[in-house]
Amino acid sequence: MHFYELFEYYPVPAGQVKSAADATRNRASAIKTLADQVESDHRQAVGAVAGTLKDTLVDAPAEAVTTASAVHQEAEFAAGCLELFSFGIDTFNYNSTSPRSVSRLNSAYLTASVNNFGVTYDDPGATATQQERQQANDDYTLAVSTARAALIRELTAEYNRLDGNLDDRAIEIGAMLDRGPTLSDVQSMWRAGALPPYAMIVYPYYGLDDIAMPESAQRELVDYLLSHPDQFTNAAYTTFLLGLSEVQRGRLVDGFVTTLQDAGRLEGEPPELYREWIWWTMLSGVPPEEMVRRAEQEGVTADTFEVLDGLAVFRSPDGRPYFLLDDDDGASEIARAVELINGRQPSYSDARRDANYWTFDGPLWQQSDVSLVLDNGGAIVATPEGILMAAAGDSDLGLPNLIDLFSVKGGVTYGEMFVTNGSHDDPAEMLRAAVTEDTLNGIPLSPLLAHERIHSEQWAVYGYYRYIYEYIREGFDGCENRFEQEAGLKEGGYSCD
């Protein structure tokens, strides 16, 4: 023991315990891989047979898979316990402040020793006799020794409390191991950062998605996903990714930027709207290599989203962007770009927009719907579904009266534009409120817009006049109308028995 290391560190380094935890996780992952392979082989077997044999095979591996899942949870939990203890070792060795850690206690002793434990030598002066000098030296040595002993007693008492805390932590973790993975213990581990980033997959019903991830866990999740790109297709991660800090979100997007640059799809640093396209496309389950193919498919370049520059942005509770049109210029291109930036594939909906061209250009001699709304004091936002959503101003929009026949609880879709019900003194504010609260007239907005997008598809299929005719033929009881049924009654705000 060196004089400046009065107290010994824990004999097993935290890194060594952490390595043991990682080794346990590796073995646990092998169990999960085996279970996945069993399920995959089982699906192939079921697909190859029929009749009574198929009925017998359907649930054949259920018990084995359930057992493997339970063993996997137990193994990950044991690894988490080891990691928790490694945290305890780090706290004991370096991080504890009250009582102070071993490193801080040793540092306090070293600092005191350099300063003679706070004792000042009382020089008897130049005229002192030899005996007086000797007495002064003896007094000083005794005072230093006494102060040193007092400090050691004080530090030792603090060390004993520190050691007791580690013992208590070991007992707590031992009790956790005996209990196995309970809800409270798994959540406690998750909060402490002792579980791996894929823990939400291992423990799907433990409420981990309701717990904010610490920054260290977020960093680990980003590193894990970038090194396991196949996991981007797992929707279970979406909730956690939406909760990432700006720093970690940026690191994740940077990984995709690098892939796109290496593939020759991007030169230099992309603008923010391009990065936002990466973010929402990634959240739709697209891994880095697929992002390259998506960029090729949709023709995405660094300039693609310039059409959105300068437009006001409203964001839904999960952050999705809606863009407010400031005039009718380029409305179709804006609608397409907003669909794209939200991770969708507008190349699949271009034919629908082309068929419903009159929303943007007007049928025959008529004014376009976009111009009609804006010229009459209304407001329009482009939505993630690739359609427009409009709110009337304080006077009637001037739309044909026939359109009122199609009004439902939320409003009416007319070609590529969903016109909400009612008139508004501040239509832009009405749209902002609907977007930011994700609700319109008490109906959840996101599924409602998906419902209205299907109506846009119906307009495209039947055409301008035929769709009006066919809809009227179906009648105005939404619950019985096949067009409403196809679009989704619940999503459209219908309550049907």
CA distance 71 to 296: 43
Please report whether residue 5 resides in a domain. no
User: Sign of the CA dihedral 403, 409, 410, 413?
Assistant: negative
Please report whether residue 218 resides in a domain. yes
What is the residue range of 457's domain? 314-487
pLDDT for res 400: 39
Is 246 in the same domain as 394?
Answer: no
pLDDT for res 203: 92
pLDDT for res 53: 43
Domain endpoint, select from 192, 220, 237 = 192
Q: How many domains does the chain have?
A: 3
CA distance 274 to 324: 18
Asked if residue 318 has pLDDT above 90, the reply is: yes
Identify each DSSP E strand in 1-156 by its residue range: none
Q: pLDDT band at residue 24, thresholds of 50, 70 and 90?
A: confident
Amino acid identity, position 493: G
CB-based contacts of 411, cutoff 8 Å, min separation 6: 418, 419, 420, 421, 440, 452
pLDDT for res 338: 98
Is 148 in the same domain as 48?
Answer: yes
C-beta of residue 186 within 8 angstroms of C-beta of residue 195: yes
Is 67 in the same domain as 142?
Answer: yes
Phi, psi of 228 (to 5 degrees): -130, 70
Reduced to 3 states, what is the DSSP secondary structure of residue 101?
A: coil
Is 366 in the same domain as 438?
Answer: yes
Rounded mean pLDDT, 155-175: 96
Domain endpoint, select from 246, 278, 302 = 302
The CA–CA distances, whole Å, from 465 to 80, 218, 289, 353, 446 equal 64, 54, 44, 16, 28
Is 64 in the same domain as 166?
Answer: yes
CA distance 210 to 232: 20
Asked if residue 121 has pLDDT above 60, the reply is: yes
Tell me the pLDDT tens digit for each residue of 377-424: 899 999 999 999 999 988 654 443 333 333 455 689 999 999 998 888
Is 287 in the same domain as 341?
Answer: no
The two structure tokens encoding residue 405: 């026949």
Which long-range CB contacts under 8 A does 266-269 form with residues at least 24 apart? Answer: 266/295, 266/301, 266/302, 267/302, 268/302
User: Sign of the CA dihedral 445, 448, 449, 450?
Assistant: positive
Asked if residue 35 has pLDDT above 80, the reply is: no
Is 281 in the same domain as 422?
Answer: no
Average pLDDT, the chain: 88
Rounded mean pLDDT, 469-497: 91
What secondary structure does DSSP assign to 394-447, as a single string?
SS-----GGGGGG--SSEEEETTEEEEEEE-SSHHHHHHHHHHHTEETTEEHHH
Is 344 in the same domain as 248?
Answer: no
C-beta of residue 322 within 8 angstroms of C-beta of residue 344: no
pLDDT for res 20: 92
Complete edge-to-edge strand list for the sheet that includes strand 379-382: 312-315, 321-324, 379-382, 388-392, 417-423, 411-414
Please report whether residue 307 resides in a domain. no
Of the listed ranges 31-40, 76-85, 199-208, 434-443, the least confidently predicted one is: 31-40
Is 116 in the same domain as 67?
Answer: yes
Asked if residue 33 has pLDDT above 90, the reply is: no
Of the listed ranges 57-66, 174-183, 293-302, 470-479, the least confidently predicted one is: 57-66
| Nearest by Cα to 191 from 74, 84, 69 | 84
Q: What's the chain's Rg over C-alpha atoms? A: 34
pLDDT for res 437: 97
Of the listed ranges 312-326, 331-345, 388-402, 471-485, the least confidently predicted one is: 388-402
Please report whether residue 206 resides in a domain. no
Is 167 in the same domain as 222?
Answer: no
The two structure tokens encoding residue 379: 């407001």
Asked if residue 275 has pLDDT above 80, the reply is: yes
pLDDT for res 26: 83
CA distance 477 to 484: 9
Please report whether residue 224 resides in a domain. yes
Please report whether residue 492 resides in a domain. no
Please report whether residue 204 resides in a domain. no
Rounded mean pLDDT, 51-57: 45
Is 39 in the same domain as 145?
Answer: yes
Please report whether residue 7 resides in a domain. no
Is 126 in the same domain as 53?
Answer: yes
- Per 3-state DSSP, the chain is made up of helix, strand and coil in percentages (nearest 5) of 65, 5, 30
To the nearest 10°, report the CA torsion of 298, 302, 308, 313: 100
HSE value, Cβ hemisphere, 13 Å, CA-based, for 410? 32
| Nearest by Cα to 445 from 481, 476, 410 | 410
* pLDDT > 70 in the chain, percent: 88
Domain endpoint, select from 242, 267, 302 = 302
Report which DSSP code applies to 92: I
C-beta of residue 101 within 8 angstroms of C-beta of residue 91: yes
